[in-house]
């Protein structure tokens, strides 16, 4: 499992290089290791290599991966990067440290209620459907301003940034640039964008979080 440690070192080097190349501080880009559908050995190897920030896209799988490990790693941080159903909000608020997939009013309200009930104030990112794809989650760009206001002022959520997953068949850079422009308009500082294939491009366009799975852990089940 030294391979995972090697991959992490390699990706960190690439992050640093991409940031420097465009005059950004490499420390301003955080690596979210996407551990969905990876086996225990690989996850433990990433932890042994010092990685502490992880992303998961399903609540139940995240519990299986992290509930016990959390206790040994108090500095662990978990981001939810997949769609969240309202009936899983309670478990999600209990487990995660950041919700990256805030995408509808019903969910915003439920998250706010549950955070209040549990006394946890989690930062959230709004997921934007930059490609306006029917099958994809996320708020459409034209409704972002209204939705952001709702999350912030009606629900009192701590919205810190935006997240997107570009369409597979279009140049990702166009979507990263759009997300950066939308964040600027909204006065939001965090940008979660870029995956294994395109995280360097995302950094050039302002990513503060890159979500890397296969390039770090190897291919998934």
Ligand X SMILES: *Cc1c(COP(=O)(O)O)cnc(C)c1O
Residues binding ligand X (CB under 6 A):
34, 36, 57, 81-82, 165, 195-196, 211-215
Contacts of 180 (CB under 8 A, 6+ apart): 191, 205, 206
DSSP codes, 26-79: GGG-EEEEE-TT--HHHHHHHHHTT--EEEES-HHHHHHHHHHHHHH-TT-EEE
Pairing mode, strands 77-80 and 53-56: parallel
Q: Which residue is nearest to ligand X (CB)?
A: 213
Closest CB 70 distance from ligand X, rounded Å: 21
Nearer to ligand X, 61 or 113 (CB): 61
State which residue, 100 or 114, has the beta carbon closest to ligand X: 100
Residue with tokens 């708020």: 139
Q: Among residues 130 and 145, whose Cβ is nearest to ligand X?
A: 130
Compare residues 109 and 215 and give the one whose CB is closer to ligand X.
215
CB of 127: closest distance to ligand X in angstroms?
9
Closest by Cα among 130, 37, 15, 142 to 82 = 37
To the nearest whole angstrom, how small is the minimum distance from the Cβ of residue 89 to ligand X? 18
Nearer to ligand X, 63 or 214 (CB): 214
Nearer to ligand X among residue 58 and residue 152 (C-beta): 58
The pair of structure tokens assigned to 17 is: 């290089």
Give the 3-state secondary structure of residue 209.
strand
Q: Which residues, at least 6 apart from 4, have a Cβ–Cβ distance to it below 8 Å?
A: 42, 45, 46, 49, 216, 217, 218
The nearest distance, CB 81 to ligand X, in angstroms, is: 4
Nearest distance, CB of residue 182 and ligand X, angstroms: 18
Q: How far is the CB of 61 from ligand X (least distance, A)?
A: 12
């Amino acid at each position: 499992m030294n391979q995972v440690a090697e991959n992490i070192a390699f990706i960190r080097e690439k992050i640093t290089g991409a940031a420097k190349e465009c005059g950004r501080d490499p420390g301003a880009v955080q690596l979210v290791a996407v551990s969905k559908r990876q086996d225990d050995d690989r996850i433990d190897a990433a932890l042994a290599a010092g990685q502490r920030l992880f992303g998961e896209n399903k609540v139940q799988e995240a519990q299986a991966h992290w509930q016990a490990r959390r206790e040994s790693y108090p500095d662990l941080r978990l981001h939810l990067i997949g769609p969240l159903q309202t009936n899983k909000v309670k478990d999600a608020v209990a487990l995660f440290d950041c919700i990256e997939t805030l995408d509808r009013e019903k969910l915003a309200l439920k998250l706010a209620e549950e955070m209040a009930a549990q006394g946890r104030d989690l930062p959230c990112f709004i997921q934007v459907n930059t490609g306006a794809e029917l099958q994809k989650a996320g708020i459409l760009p034209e409704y972002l301003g209204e939705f952001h206001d709702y999350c912030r002022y009606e629900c009192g959520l701590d919205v810190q940034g935006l997240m997107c997953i570009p369409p597979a068949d279009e140049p990702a850079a166009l979507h990263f640039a759009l997300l950066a422009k939308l964040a600027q308009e909204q006065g939001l500082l965090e940008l979660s964008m870029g995956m294994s294939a395109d995280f360097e491009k995302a950094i050039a366009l302002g990513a503060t979080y890159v979500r890397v799975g296969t390039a770090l852990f190897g291919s998934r089940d």
